[in-house]
Amino acid sequence: MEILVCVKRVPDSAENEINVAAGGADICREDLVYAVNEWDNYAVEEAIQIVEREGGSVTVVALGDAEIEESVRREMAMGAEQGLMLVDAGFAGSDGLGVATILKAAAQKKRYDLILTGAQAEDGAAQVGGMLAALLDHPYASLVNKVDVNGQTLRIGREIEGGSQELSDIDLPCVLSIQTGINEPRYVGLRGIRKVASVEIPVLNGADLGVDLASVGKAAAKVRRVDYFVPVVSAGAEMLTGSTKEVAAQLVELLKAKGGLN
Amino acid sequence: MATQVFVLIPHAAGKADDAALELLSAARAMFPGVTPTALVLGAGADQTAVAQEAAAAYPEVWGFSQEVLAYPNAELIRPLLLKILPAGAVVLLPHSTLGIDLGPGLSVKLGAAYLPDVVGFDGIDGSLLKVVRQEFSGQVSAHVQADIVKGAVITVRSGAFQPAQPGPAAGTVVDKSAEAAGLTARRRFVEVVQAEAGDVDITREDVLVAVGRGIGEQDNLSLVDELAEAMGATVCCSRPIVDAKWLDKGRQVGTSGATVKPKVYLALGISGAFQHLGGLKGSPFVVAVNKNPKAPIFQAAQVGVVGDLMELLPELTQQIQKAR
Ligand SMILES: Cc1cc2nc3c(=O)[nH]c(=O)nc-3n(C[C@H](O)[C@H](O)[C@H](O)COP(=O)(O)OP(=O)(O)OC[C@H]3O[C@@H](n4cnc5c(N)ncnc54)[C@H](O)[C@@H]3O)c2cc1C
Ligand SMILES: Nc1ncnc2c1ncn2[C@@H]1O[C@H](COP(=O)(O)O)[C@@H](O)[C@H]1O
């Protein structure tokens, strides 16, 4: 089985305090810690496990600036044989459809049986996988938390509300967006990263991909972010201050008063 | 702008979801003066019942009843919508596991703009629709603008719009079942496997201590257990703790976990993503501890502490033990 996994480099929202830059044009990007989008690690792990069982190979593809190399190498260190970087100044500012259009061109460079994305990106909108499937005219399933290969079809599970699992059969080739919890992504150590440090990763631009730059990027985006802002919210929480001892003492009183001590 | 607006009515077991009326308010807010049409897809008596229910709120309902539509399979619904929707249509869906499955591909096939997970409306100017979205698990919001001249697919976050009041039953149901005949897809629904019940039933507990990724390591969970024990409370958690297999799925609070209705909810190292807060009902007294003052959980809490769990938890446990 030839599998393509799309991975995105994102500011890690668990590690960062995200602030709006002056004027709201962007978030403050200095000192941000970047990482591979959480969901994408599960997608790469699933691809590797499928190939371990069924044979074939895993290719990891990322679209972005030169910094994505670090992300691609990290995922290759998990056990993906090949990497692919899609880098072109003309790609910048693409909306979800633009990103999917560029990924489609990469996906058509070779015959992939299965294409995986993360269910959503931390700075995204849970859209790229479904759009890519539609552009390729492949069947699609989102929020997948189980994959069993049965010849030319897959028995898949989708996670639905309340944590129940919806089982379906889907024909190959197809696109799946992967939900967290489907597996336990393997640990990547420094040794693993060093092992793939010298593997050559092709870098493709718009011309290499045959993507018309007028159809992607900022100018072509139908959907645009106007600005970032901090919403005017209700009073929010009453914040307790003081030393750890003082804060704990206040909490004890509050919990007592509100029935929090059984 | 002359637009036709359609709302897909989500339903289960012959009842429309709460989203049906929230989507109606969203449609009215964004497109005042346009009468939205409800789309009710399903099979048999369930479909008929939901179409009647929708007609109590929507003046026009299009009904599609076919055996294959008994369970909502996005891969079948998408080609059906492509067939029946007029050019330039706006479609509203819930940002649910169905909306996420259906919406992106539908927008591509319709050639329409996609506006996912909308939490607010900020105006329409000609064909430029401006909405509010959130990013980074709600740490920041963004105004997003789309040209909807060729239509739009909009998924709306649950709870973002107040449900509309259903009017007097005045709507008509147009039976369009024939248009849905012969649908096939390369993805075939098999069955739904219900989530397993866990060792404890967190939905019945009054006092919950909820732990999130901020706890850092599995070993640190003992600090949470000790606190919960001192309080006489039950431990529950956010999704990453279950994904890491540190706690059972039955302990997860949120849209893909359990819905809880405690009196007191102590959220420890939880950022407050909407999928987590979606499982917290009944206006509990929420106390949040987080090292990030920007964490959205502080908007949902009555009392907040900006601090490190590693320092606060042992101290709090000790003081509670002493206070008893
Ligand atoms: C379809 C779908 C369904 C989902 N369903 C659910 C669901 O049912 N339930 C659910 O919970 N999530 C669900 N999620 C995931 C959700 O989007 C978030 O990713 C998740 O809730 C984040 O969990 P968290 O707050 O524990 O982790 P994070 O968002 O990583 O937050 C950790 C927090 O801990 C704080 N912190 C770190 N260290 C410390 C410290 N030492 N002391 C104090 N604070 C610290 C950080 O500042 C941060 O705010 C779902 C996602 C999808 C796409
Ligand atoms: N720039 C990108 N490069 C590679 N994959 C991407 C990119 N953007 C999105 N994806 C994929 O699409 C998924 C969903 O992203 P999004 O639709 O932005 O929430 C991610 O988890 C990735 O798998």
Mean pLDDT value across chain B: 95
A161 in contact with B at a CB cutoff of 8 Å? yes
A231 in contact with B at a CB cutoff of 8 Å? yes
Mean pLDDT (whole number) for B110-116: 97
B277 in contact with A at a CB cutoff of 8 Å? no
Q: Which has the closest alpha carbon to B215: A39, A42, A14, A252?
A: A14
User: Considering only alpha carbons, which residue of chain A is nearest residue B71?
Assistant: A166
pLDDT of residue A143: 98
Statement: residue B1 has pLDDT above 90: no
Q: Where are the alpha helices (DSSP H) in B111-198?
A: none
Q: Is the CB of A91 under 6 A from ligand 2?
A: no
Ligand nearest to the CA of A96: 2
User: Is A252 part of a structural domain of the chain?
Assistant: no
Statement: residue B2 has pLDDT above 90: no
User: Is A244 part of a structural domain of the chain?
Assistant: no
Q: Which has the closest alpha carbon to B190: A171, A144, A169?
A: A169
Ligand nearest to the CA of B249: 1
Q: What is the pLDDT of residues B202-238, one digit of tens each?
A: 999 999 999 999 999 999 999 999 999 999 999 999 9
Statement: residue B318 has pLDDT above 60: yes
Inter-chain contact B192–A228, Cβ cutoff 8 Å? no
pLDDT of residue B24: 96
Q: Whole-structure pTM over 0.90, yes or no?
A: yes
- The percent of residues in chain B predicted with pLDDT above 70, rounded, is 99
Signed CA dihedral, B264, B270, B274, B276: sign only: negative
Tell me how far apart the alpha carbons of residues B107 and B151 are, in angstroms, rounded to a whole number. 8
Q: What ligand 2 atom has the least distance to the C-alpha of A128? A: 17
In the numeric block, the tokens 């379906």 are attached to: A168
Specify the residue with its C-alpha closest to ligand 1, atom 30: A14
User: Considering only alpha carbons, which residue of chain B is nearest residue A142?
Assistant: B101
pLDDT of residue B196: 80
pLDDT of residue A194: 92
Q: What is the pLDDT of residues B226-280, one digit of tens each?
A: 999 999 999 999 999 999 999 999 999 999 999 999 999 999 999 999 999 999 9
Residue-range definition of the domain harbouring residue A136: 2-220
Mean pLDDT (whole number) for B81-110: 98
Tell me how far apart the alpha carbons of residues B261 and B251 are, in angstroms, rounded to a whole number. 14
CATH number of the domain at A184, please: 3.40.50.620
User: Is A207 part of a structural domain of the chain?
Assistant: yes
Chain B CB contacts of A135 under 8 Å are 108
Q: Which has the closest alpha carbon to B253: B297, B219, B294?
A: B297
- The percent of residues in chain B predicted with pLDDT above 90, rounded, is 91
Q: What is the pLDDT of residues B176-205, one digit of tens each?
A: 999 999 999 999 999 999 988 778 899 999
How many domains is chain A partitioned into structurally?
A: 1
Q: How far is the CA of B240 from the centre of ligand 1 (A)?
A: 6
Segments of B29-175 assigned E as strands: 37-42, 60-65, 90-94, 113-118, 120-125, 128-135, 140-147, 152-156, 172-175
User: Is A253 part of a structural domain of the chain?
Assistant: no
User: Is A59 part of a structural domain of the chain?
Assistant: yes
Mean pLDDT (whole number) for B20-25: 96
Statement: residue B139 has pLDDT above 90: no
pLDDT of residue A14: 73
Chain B CB contacts of A227 under 8 Å are 142-143
pLDDT of residue B141: 93
Tell me how far apart the alpha carbons of residues A1 and A55 are, in angstroms, rounded to a whole number. 6
Give every residue of chain A whose pLDDT is below 70, as ranges: 232-235
Inter-chain contact A166–B141, Cβ cutoff 8 Å? no
User: Is A227 part of a structural domain of the chain?
Assistant: no
3-state DSSP helix/strand/coil percent for chain B, to nearest 5? 35, 30, 35
Tell me how far apart the alpha carbons of residues A8 and A116 are, in angstroms, rounded to a whole number. 12
Q: What ligand 1 atom has the least distance to the C-alpha of B238? A: 11
pLDDT of residue A31: 84
Q: How far is the CA of A162 from the centre of ligand 1 (A)?
A: 17
Tell me how far apart the alpha carbons of residues B123 and B144 are, in angstroms, rounded to a whole number. 11
pLDDT of residue A227: 95
Choose the closest CB to A134 out of B108, B130, B146. Answer: B108
Pick the more confident residue, B171 or A138: A138
Inter-chain contact A142–B231, Cβ cutoff 8 Å? no
State how far the alpha carbon of A138 is from the alpha carbons of A6, A8, A95, B21, in Å.
16, 21, 21, 33
- Shortest distance, CA B51 to any CA of chain A (angstroms): 23
Q: Is the CB of B259 under 6 A from ligand 1?
A: no
Torsion of CA A184, B307, B138, A62, to 10 degrees: -40
Answer for the pair B237, B231: CB distance below 8 angstroms, yes or no: no
Inter-chain contact B140–A27, Cβ cutoff 8 Å? yes
Q: Which has the closest alpha carbon to B233: B277, B307, B285, B299?
A: B285
Q: Which domains are seen in chain B, by residue range?
A: 5-180 (3.40.50.620), 202-323 (3.40.50.1220)
Chain B CB contacts of A122 under 8 Å are 135-137
Statement: residue B310 has pLDDT above 80: yes
Inter-chain contact B287–A254, Cβ cutoff 8 Å? yes
Statement: residue B169 has pLDDT above 80: no
ipTM exceeds 0.85: yes
Tell me how far apart the alpha carbons of residues A44 and A178 are, in angstroms, rounded to a whole number. 9
User: Is A245 part of a structural domain of the chain?
Assistant: no
User: Is A242 part of a structural domain of the chain?
Assistant: no
Mean pLDDT (whole number) for B115-129: 95
Statement: residue B166 has pLDDT above 80: no
